[in-house]
Structure 1
Amino acid sequence: MLMLVVPVLNFAQSKVTDFSKLYLDDLYNNSSKIGSRSPDDTNFDDLEAIGKSIGDARIVLLGEPSHGDGGAISMKTRLVKYLHEKKQFDVLLFEADLYSIMFDVANLKDPSGIVASSKENIYTCWSESAVSQDLWKYYTRELTGNNPLKIGGFDPRHAGKFAKTKLIGNLTELAKTTGHDTESKTYRSFIKDLEYILQNEFRSKKDSVNAGNFHSEINNIEEAVMFNDKENKLRQIWLIEINNIRNLFDMLIEGKNRDILMAKNFIFLAKHVFPDQKIMVWSHNNHNVLDVNTYASFDKDFAKNWYDNNTYEGFTYFGSDIFRTFGDQIYSLAITSGTGNFSPKFFGNDYFHADFTKTAKVPKSGEGSLEWYLNKKKSNVLFIPLPKQQGKPSGYPWFSARLLDLGFEAKMDYTSAFNGIIYVNKTVDLNGQ
């Protein structure tokens, strides 16, 4: 009897296998070095491993761990150049104001006008920062030629100056051309409420608007435009924007999930405005998660609450929602940073203008995390392809990382969330410092 117990005791006292460490070893062994994150480096041989991993995907999501991570913005600019020039990706859509970009910035041809309008209508971390200037120089250069680069946005936030000053007048002119009664009491009430949410945005109060009238009027405008004989492409864009106005109201007044609404906008654009074209998406890592279960993997208590409260009914993320529509046509590429500086006030108090005077240090990586591991390997810039198990719990070991946000480190099922990871050892803030 005693002899039977001894082996069991020895086994119980042996060291538990660290599958996360073994998995990180495998990922590292399959990684490839990237020569530079600088957009000035146009020898793209070091990015071919990324191109091979993307394969035939039509939509590539380019993430960043923080909107204040300047190194990630520079890396993404280089990727835009590579994907446009070598892989025929000709559309770049931002996690930013759909109306202001599609109806203003995207229609401009003069470089100085583009630069000025982008700063007014696209979050300044991506338009006014020092690290974003290479992107706009490249865009203005690629407006002509056999494969011009086209831009757009898919965010229901009407945060740009163009949306706040021009939308109501342009919408009213459109409604008039369809015969819609713009002098009616119901239309004037609708416009009053639209003006209110455009100017107050996240400060908007439900009891300050007439929700029933708003929805009724936007439905009537939509029907009038839908059956109008205006040029087809213009009608399609306006129908997307009319639905986007509905999305704006639902987000600010009804409290609906922004990511679900961004996904609705993106699906419309991908299917009806840019059909059969290859699209790059410029957004944050956590919006680009392909499996919403990734969040439930945070810890046991979080997961229990997640399932008990049927969180799936009202919560998802942009990447997860568009993955349900496009599946393997989507490739999600996350970026993470190990050390360096970043800009913590990337949206400022108005949720638009970055405070370029503020700088912070990238948080120290926890022992055993992906960033800690790669730093110990003295990696500089690295690409790591993940096994093809996205969109559902992957079955691969979880590991700790800051892939969802630069300031949030957790052990989760990141393989279900992303197709690949780019690691930048030392990043910079929005000023390039």
Structure 2
Amino acid sequence: MIKKILLSLIACVVLIVITNMVMYQDVPELTRKEHLSEIERYKSNIRSLSIGDTNDNDLKIFDTILLRNKVLMLGENTHYDGQTLKAKSRLIKYLHENQGYNIVLYEAGQFDTWIMNEEMNKHNKSKIAADSVGGLGLFYWWWANEETQPLFRYYLKTKLSSSPIEIGGFDIQFSGSLLEDKRTSQLKHFLEKNKISIEKYPLFNKYNDNLNFLLDNAYVNKTLNAQQKTQFLEEISGLEQAVLKLEQTKENTIYARYLNDVRNNYHKSWEYEPGTWPSMNYRDSLMARNLIYQIDSVYKDQKIIVWCANIHTFSRRFSKDFLPLGAYIKKKYGVASYMLSFSSYARHYAENKVVNKPGKQAIENDFHNTKSPYFFIDFKNIPANSFLKNHFVSTINQGMDQKKQWSKFTDGIFYIDINKNPSYPEKK
């Protein structure tokens, strides 16, 4: 028995060593030079990431690339890439002012972002502070930091113009942390106003004050048995059907879709192991359904920016168990959709330490060797015989070294040499 264990350990060590040798072995110098030459040939330098930059000549490349575009998906390698948040903010401002993109849809709850947008539409008469209004609809990493506050000030500014930006979402999850204590009262008020008795749905009525807790498997398994879980989901569906019988106003429609999302969110949480491919696959399929509905019905014939993570922008199957959101969008809208992913060589951490460098095989090393702090590469306009159109290693997916034909997964890469964690203001 001990001998078998020892042999297994040795096999694991050998496998790790071989993997590291492949991943971290040096690329031949001649290959590096050839790669660098091609990258220099096809990259477009970006001068600044600041939304306050008034010289937009470096962004005019997008006027041609997005000429006939309808849906632009803006990714991010992780949700904690502060420089990427700044870059996306500047792009949104430019595209709104120069190309008529008036809709920004986030990887956030449909209902939560609707509430947030309605609050922003009050033209600065809202009871919510301008620097906190994002918390009604979005996860904190997209509104509570110094990098995204200028974008929210810009959103609010456009609300007073003849061309306001409308904010929405397409996720099934609860996302607005500042809405957490208000969801129950808002739903109850809506149902009472429309003479829908919540008492007819006893299990949902009983736990309506604890909706967030029921997403925690440890809590829900102590609270509801299998039969009660089924009943709980059926009651949410019953409420949805009751709302669907009402007049199809904007408010009634969003509440019906909200109840559908709530049900699906519980199903995902209870049916799939968190963070697994099947869980992500289920969520992305529903985000795709919601996003396509938003594009085709709510914002028909308008140009739309989609804000999400890189992995959701990928336009083809990523694994046998995961078909990303972007694949649905690319199949539906084809050349009228553009997927833009973001990547970096490393990031500044505490005391200006540079961390999270890629393995030696990753293309981010070649990007870094250009000495350009920011640039953009459009895969669509690169010849098929270029190494950039073939398989290469990149950290484009959450910083992991992975070898794929990345030009099949994304239409372009926005490169930021050194990223930084977002800056959060000190609590008073």
Q: TM-score range by the shorter chain?
A: 0.7 to 0.9
Query: Do the aligned partners of residues 41 and 262 (structure 1) sit closer, same or farther apart at CA in structure 2, a change above 3 Å counting?
Result: same
Write out aligned runs for 1:12-411 (5 A): 25-108=37-120, 109=122, 110=124, 113-119=129-135, 121-184=137-200, 187-203=201-217, 204-205=219-220, 208-209=223-224, 210-229=228-247, 232-255=249-272, 256=279, 257-292=282-317, 295-296=318-319, 306=320, 311=321, 315-341=322-348, 361-387=354-380, 396-406=389-399, 408-411=400-403
**SS of residue in 2 equivalent to 1:375:** helix
1:192 partner letter? K
Query: Do the aligned partners of residues 341 and 208 (structure 1) sit closer, same or farther apart at CA in structure 2, a change above 3 Å counting?
Result: same
Query: Do the aligned partners of residues 183 and 400 (structure 1) sit closer, same or farther apart at CA in structure 2, a change above 3 Å counting?
Result: same
- The TM-score, its normalising length taken from structure 2, stands at 0.79
1:213-263 C-alpha deviation (Å, 9 max, x unpaired): 233222322222222125x22222222212211222222222243222222
1:107-156 C-alpha deviation (Å, 9 max, x unpaired): 33327634223235422222111211211121111112121011122222
Q: CA deviation at 1:99?
A: 2.0
Q: Which runs of 5+ in 1 are unaligned?
A: 1-15, 297-305, 343-356
1:310-366 C-alpha deviation (Å, 9 max, x unpaired): x3xxx3222123333333322111111123326xxxxxxxxxxxxxx9997441233
- The TM-score, its normalising length taken from structure 1, stands at 0.78
Q: CA deviation at 1:267?
A: 2.0
Query: Do the aligned partners of residues 334 and 360 (structure 1) sit closer, same or farther apart at CA in structure 2, a change above 3 Å counting?
Result: farther
1:19-57 C-alpha deviation (Å, 9 max, x unpaired): 998677545412211111122213211111123212211
Q: CA separation in 2, counterparts of 1:24 and 1:288?
A: 26
Q: CA deviation at 1:171?
A: 2.4
Q: CA deviation at 1:404?
A: 1.0
Identity of aligned residues (%): 25
Runs (4+) of structure 1 exceeding 6 A deviation are 18-21, 357-360
Query: Do the aligned partners of residues 97 and 360 (structure 1) sit closer, same or farther apart at CA in structure 2, a change above 3 Å counting?
Result: farther
* Count of residue pairs the alignment pairs up: 379
Q: CA deviation at 1:179?
A: 4.2
Deviates more, 1:82-91 or 1:373-382: 373-382
Q: CA separation in 2, counterparts of 1:27 and 1:426?
A: 18
Q: Alignment partner for residue 420 of structure 1, among 398, 412, 415?
A: 412
Query: Do the aligned partners of residues 183 and 38 (structure 1) sit closer, same or farther apart at CA in structure 2, a change above 3 Å counting?
Result: same
**SS of residue in 1 equivalent to 2:73:** strand
Q: CA deviation at 1:81?
A: 0.6
Partner of 1:430: 422
Q: Is contact 1:385–1:419 with CA below 8 Å preserved after alignment?
A: yes
2:409 partner letter? A
1:257-303 C-alpha deviation (Å, 9 max, x unpaired): 322222222222222222222111111111111112xx34xxxxxxx
2:111 partner letter? Y
Q: CA deviation at 1:377?
A: 1.9
Q: CA separation in 2, counterparts of 1:287 and 1:168?
A: 30
Query: Do the aligned partners of residues 193 and 120 (structure 1) sit closer, same or farther apart at CA in structure 2, a change above 3 Å counting?
Result: same
1:158-183 C-alpha deviation (Å, 9 max, x unpaired): 14245432223332333344443322
Q: CA deviation at 1:102?
A: 0.8
Query: Do the aligned partners of residues 156 and 114 (structure 1) sit closer, same or farther apart at CA in structure 2, a change above 3 Å counting?
Result: farther
